[in-house]
Structure 1
Amino acid sequence: MASLSDFKVSGTGAESGTHVYREKRAWQEHYRSNPRQPESASLEHMLGSLRADMSRQGVQTPQKGCCNACDKPIVGQVITALGRTWHPEHFTCAHCNQELGTRNFFERDGRPYCEPDYHNLFSPRCAYCNGPILDKCVTALEKTWHTEHFFCAQCGQQFGEDGFHERDGKPYCRNDYFDMFAPKCGGCNKPIMENYISALNTQWHPDCFVCKDCEKAVKGKSFYAMEGKPVCPKCVGVDEDE
């Protein structure tokens, strides 16, 4: 970002005022000696003739280069920025054309932009609010986010040390992700987050895979099914040794 120190306005001192006064007097004399000027004559042409007359008379008319915007000579105030010189009224935002004056500006491809336009045109956009990101940025899920807008899509809480889980391009906290998308235990109906047992066409927490009648853990490979629940051989009156 270009700061205020990157450009300057000069030619506002007493010396500049003297030149303006001399130019005014010389112009009055020039006009009196040439009372019939064609109405179509341009201001630039008249000023050029005036400077030529003043130069012949030994009057100094300091020129400060040509304006990068209009390519006309600069006499008086000048803005130096981006390695070039400008008339103050011609140093404008490349997008909205507002005068930049002494405002902060940003440079892009050699062109100046006011701060709002630069961010709207070129700053990364937040995936949540679509607003430009001016400061810190979170990059996740191949998108960019304001730090305050990167939160769980379900509960709205920002992520802590546990990080986040993704589903359909949206971030979720651990609890909401498993509660919404993880398989449910056939015993307690709560989400299964880690180890599980697959039996009777469903999944179970290891601690929940117990006999429907005695509620003891079903050990070994032998068990019976009753109403979709496991039942140990003992509870159905079968001797495991048989």
Structure 2
Amino acid sequence: MAERYDCTQCRGSLYGKKYIMREEHPYCIKCYEALFSSNCTVCKKLISCTSKDLSYKDRHWHGDCFLCNKCSRSLVDRPFATKNDMLMCTDCYCKEYSAKCHACQKTIMPGTKKMEHKGNSWHEKCFICKYCQQPIGTMSFVKKETNNYCLGCYEKHFALQCVHCKKPITTGGVSYRDQPWHKECFVCTGCKQQLAGQRFTSRDDLVYCLDCFCNMFAKKCAYCTTPISGLGGSKYISFEDRQWHNDCFNCKKCCLSLVGRGFLTAKDDILCPDCGKDI
């Protein structure tokens, strides 16, 4: 007696019938389609085992249903793209969604390298320096008006030169007496501290922070011996060859303030008239 050859699922005989092998197990056409065939994403009908099943990201199509959602052109054996799960030929996708090159105004095709800056896009070969016409790529560049310049060309043609070091100023410059400086070059003549954003003064065309200026040039208070800057409208008392801070101009004996009052001198001391009667 001949050995039976049956469908793995329904156990029906497969002798004289078409069947499909899956993992070394035979299935009749009906069982195979019920178990393993997919429904078409477009028409929702079963994709039979005798039809071409086109799949992409867990979705399936009949060959006749695998079409561009915009122009209905067949995508079988053609490149395609997706947007919000919609299939599109590359032409339709580019018209709808691809960026235009800011230089040549042509479409930047999906998958090609592009350069982006502040909302604009370029083909890699179109992203070039306005002057030297060399590709900028990932190098540093400066945008001026509507054009891009490599750092070398920008410094050569546009950048101001620091009055101190004579090198181009590309960022963080300081203007003093209508002359440009790097922030790091605009420093106190005395202590070399950067003066950008700080109070400072000058003497003989040299700039100083307030501390250095006071220590080097300011008169010393006859009482506390610290410098009297006189800067910023601060008030002080001057008598003969001596100066005092307002707060230091007091009677030596009773400490009464002598600002706006009469006073007497006794050697290096100043006295109010009452205390001066005793000398």
Judging by fraction of residues, say which structure has more strand.
Answer: 2
Q: Given the two structures, how large is their TM-score scaled by the length of structure 1?
A: 0.45
Larger radius of gyration, structure 1 or 2? 2
Q: Given the two structures, how large is their TM-score scaled by the length of structure 2?
A: 0.40
Judging by fraction of residues, say which structure has more helix.
Answer: 1
Greater relative contact order (CA < 8 Å, ≥ 6 in sequence): 1
